[in-house]
Amino acid sequence: MCGIVGYIGKANAASVLIGGLKRLEYRGYDSAGLALLDGDVIHISKAPGKVANLNAKARAEWDAGMIERAGTGIAHTRWATHGPPTEANAHPHLDESGHIALVHNGIIENYRSIRARLESKGHHFRSETDTEVLAHLIGDCDKGDLLQAVRDALHQVEGTFGIAVISSREPGIIITARRGSPIVIGVGHGETIIASDASAILAHTQRVIYLDDNDIAVVTADAVDVRDLNNFPVTREIAELGLDTAATEKGGYEHFMLKEIHEQPESLANAIRGRLDHQLGSSVLSGMGTSPRDLAEILRVVMVGCGTSLHAAMVGEYALGDIADIPAEVRQAADFRYRNPILGNHDLVVAISQSGETADTLAAVREARQKGAFVMSLVNVVGSTIARETGRGVYLHAGPEISVASTKAFTSQVSVLLMMALKLGRGRRFSREEGLRLALEIEAIPELVRSVIKQDKLISEIAARYVDNEHAFYIGRGPMYPVALEGALKLKEISYIHAEGYHAAELKHGPIALLQKGTLVVAVACEGPAKDKTLGNVEECRARGARILGVITEGDHEAEEVMDDFIAIPRAHPLVATIPATVALQLFSYHVARLRGCEIDQPRNLAKSVTVE
Same domain, 417 and 531: no
Q: Could you report the per-residue pLDDT of 31-50, keeping only the tens digit for each? A: 899 999 998 899 999 998 88
User: What is the arithmetic mean of pLDDT over 367-372?
Assistant: 91
Same domain, 464 and 422: no
Same domain, 99 and 180: yes
Domain-located, residue 608: no
Least confident of 101-110, 129-138, 287-296: 287-296
Tell me the one-letter amino acid at 149: A
Task: Describe the crossing of helices 264-272 and 408-426 by its angle, rounded to 10 degrees.
Answer: 30
- Domains contained in the chain, number: 3
Average pLDDT score over the chain: 91
Q: What is the DSSP letter of 173?
A: -
138-to-35, 82, 198, 576 alpha-carbon distances in Å: 17, 19, 27, 54
199-to-22, 36, 180, 188, 599 alpha-carbon distances in Å: 10, 21, 19, 15, 21
Q: What is the CATH number of the domain that holds 581?
A: 3.40.50.10490
Domain-located, residue 377: yes
Same domain, 413 and 270: yes
- Structure confidence at residue 613 (pLDDT): 58
d(C-alpha 449, C-alpha 411), whole Å: 10
- Structure confidence at residue 245 (pLDDT): 67
pLDDT at position 183 over 90: yes
Same domain, 265 and 385: yes
Tell me the one-letter amino acid at 10: K
Q: What is the DSSP string of 394-424?
A: EE-------SSS--HHHHHHHHHHHHHHHHH
- Structure confidence at residue 608 (pLDDT): 61
Domain-located, residue 88: yes
- Structure confidence at residue 76 (pLDDT): 94
Whether the Cβ atoms of residue 163 and residue 155 lie closer than 8 Å to each other: no
Domain-located, residue 497: yes
Q: What is the CATH number of the domain that holds 91?
A: 3.60.20.10
Same domain, 31 and 169: yes
Q: Which residues are catalytic?
A: 2, 608
Task: Describe the crossing of helices 146-154 and 130-141 by its angle, rounded to 10 degrees.
Answer: 130
The band of 609, judged by pLDDT with boundaries at 50, 70 and 90, is low
Domain-located, residue 62: yes
User: What is the arithmetic mean of pLDDT over 556-573?
Assistant: 95
Q: What is the 3-state secondary structure (H, E, C) of 240-279?
A: ECCCCHHHHCCCCCCCHHHHHHHCHHHHHHHHHCCCEECC
Whether the Cβ atoms of residue 471 and residue 520 lie closer than 8 Å to each other: yes
Tell me the one-letter amino acid at 331: R
Which residue range forms the structural domain that includes residue 34? 2-247
Same domain, 194 and 224: yes
Same domain, 334 and 461: no
Under 8 Å CB-to-CB from 509, ≥6 apart: which residues?
Answer: none
Of 443, 478, 505, the residue that ends a domain is 443
Domain-located, residue 613: no
Domain-located, residue 609: no
Same domain, 315 and 429: yes
Domain-located, residue 385: yes
pLDDT at position 323 over 70: yes
- Structure confidence at residue 97 (pLDDT): 93
pLDDT at position 247 over 70: no
The band of 607, judged by pLDDT with boundaries at 50, 70 and 90, is low
Same domain, 230 and 99: yes
Of 443, 474, 504, the residue that ends a domain is 443
Of 211, 228, 247, the residue that ends a domain is 247
Same domain, 214 and 74: yes
pLDDT at position 96 over 90: yes
Please count the other Cβ atoms lying within 10 Å of the Cβ belonging to residue 235: 5
- Structure confidence at residue 244 (pLDDT): 66
Same domain, 227 and 278: no
Q: Could you report the per-residue pLDDT of 192-238, keeping only the tens digit for each? A: 999 988 888 888 998 999 999 899 999 999 999 999 999 999 999 89
d(C-alpha 566, C-alpha 552), whole Å: 7
